[in-house]
Copies of this chain bind each other. A is one copy, B any other.
Amino acid sequence: MEQTKPTRGVRLGDLVERFGGQLVGSADLVVSAIAPLDSADASQISFLSNSKLRALAGQSTAAALILSPLDDPTVAATYAGSRIVTTNPYAYFARVAQYFVSLEEQAPAPGIHPSAVVEPGAQVDASAHIGPHVTIEAGAVVKANVVIDHGCFVGRDAVIGEGTRLFANVTFHRQCVIGARGIIHSGAVIGGDGFGFAVESGVYLKIPQTGRVVIGDDVDIGSNTSIDRGAMADTVIEDGVKLDNQIQIGHNCHIGAHTAMAGCVGVAGSARIGSRCTFGGAAMVLGHLEIADNVHISSGSMVSRSVLEPGQYTGFYPLAKNAEWEKSAAIVRNLNSMREKIRTLEKTIKKLTEQNDD
């Protein structure tokens, strides 16, 4: 891959001034990029966020290392480069990496591409970038420094908050709202109708979905993820929520602040999920459940009841060679008969024991 190589690089002193940490070494040393421990060269800075890799860090050829006070003494014993010592090297790495990107990335220029359709009555801030083949409907509000790429649709009366970016081919339906600094990746659909029907004589009657999707600040939404609008109330995604790709959020869900969901997660309608939860890939949550704050659901697990106590929860069938699985699955199907056998054994043994004790 092409490493990010800005022509001039960054002084270590500038990094410490911006992001803190204790510098051991020359403030005037210039690094050209940030790179992983196992590939960083003498012009680059790297980081140690996993103490198990201390030995690798000790032998690194990087010009400088970001590392924790805990790891520093061991690494410093063999590593001759400069060091930035900080309590959370991984967060520090994130900030430095963002900084390098900001140096070389050109922000999309303000303005509306001639092929875009902005209906009369839409308010688009002059600092916003509206790409080719975009449609912004009447009444929509696009705030300062927003970037809306190729092919996006922003429905009537929708609001796109300051500095938020919609990558190419996002659909953002009428009346929905997203706050500041959000990122919506390509193919995501925000505010499609929820899946609500009444049944009459075996035929489904559509229930109009008159609520919105209301999304807070600093929310990331992955590629091809869909979040449905509520039925009579709103679907709510609080600040700082991070949703990966291919996720389905049903109507009237409420997802608490700083909760993160990995790819392929599904949440059925009206589930109420707390703050700072995590969901592994392909975890599924049934509708109308409540999940407390700080609950962590493992990948591939089906949440079929409310989870009111924080902790890690899991439920998937363990993988095995197919022949072994065939055996275990056959027994699982008949666990009831196994339980009966044990009960019979218990009774027989009780009788035997009594006989022997006689």
Chain A: residues with CB nearer than 8 A to chain B?
Answer: 1-4, 34-36, 88, 90-91, 93-95, 97-98, 100-101, 113, 115, 117, 131-133, 135, 149-151, 153, 155, 167-169, 171, 173, 175, 183, 185-189, 192-193, 195, 197-200, 202-208, 210-212, 214, 218, 220, 222-226, 228, 230, 232-234, 240, 242, 244-246, 248, 250, 258, 260, 262-264, 266, 268, 276, 280-282, 284, 286, 297-305, 307, 311-322, 324-336, 338-339, 341-342, 345-346, 348-349, 352-353, 355-356
Contact = CB atoms under 8 A, between A and B. Distances in A.
Contacts of A175: 2
A316 B317 CA distance: 5
Contact of A245 (B98, B195, B319, B341): B195
A240 B200 CA distance: 12
Residue from A88, A226, A305 with most neighbouring chain B CB atoms (10 Å): A226
A346 B342 CA distance: 9
A192 B186 contact: yes
A219 to B, nearest CB: 10
Contacts of A93: 198, 207
7 contacts: A35-B232, A115-B115, A135-B150, A223-B226, A264-B266, A311-B322, A338-B342
Nearest to A339: B331
A192 B243 CA distance: 13
A175 B104 CA distance: 15
A234 B188 CA distance: 23
A276 to B, nearest CB: 6
A325 B314 contact: yes
Contacts of A281: 248, 266, 268, 284, 286
B260 A212 contact: no
B314 A315 contact: no
A91 B198 contact: yes
A329 B321 contact: no
